Amino acid sequence: MAKPMTKTQLVAALAEKMDADKKTAGAALDAISEIITAEVAGGGAVTLPGVGKVYCRERPERMVRNPATGEQFKKEADKQVKVTIAKALKDSVNA
């Protein structure tokens, strides 16, 4: 498995695609990240065309087990961030 792309590499690639400098590309990436975070934290969802959909799912209160001791305890309800991958991306990977 290849190493994941770092933020620096992503900013450089984005700057090249945008025909802009790295500072502008970094600011654009940070802005997109902030927008997605704010929307999902507020209970909404964000669709990135060709990539997927980022959303928040609420999980109910449930019983869980500590694997070290075997003790069961109640875990409070919480929220979980989920990503559904777009069909176009799946198809391009499997092509």
Co-location of 22 and 51 in the same domain: no
Q: To the nearest whole number, what is the mean pLDDT of the chain?
A: 94
Co-location of 32 and 71 in the same domain: no
Domain count, the chain: 2
pLDDT along the chain (95 residues), means of 10: 91 94 95 96 94 94 93 94 94 90
Tens digit of pLDDT for each residue in 43-54?
Answer: 999 999 999 999
- Rounded to 5 degrees, what angle do the CA atoms 42, 87, 25 make? 60
Co-location of 51 and 29 in the same domain: no
Co-location of 55 and 82 in the same domain: yes
Co-location of 33 and 63 in the same domain: no
Co-location of 66 and 82 in the same domain: yes
Q: Which domain holds residue 4?
A: 1-42
Tell me the whole-structure pTM to 2 decimals.
0.79
Can you list the pairs that 45-54 forms with residues at least 24 positions away whose Cβ atoms lie under 8 Å? 48/86, 49/86, 50/86, 50/88, 50/89, 51/85, 51/86, 51/89, 52/83, 52/84, 52/85, 52/86, 52/89, 53/83, 53/84, 53/86, 54/81, 54/82, 54/83
Co-location of 31 and 73 in the same domain: no
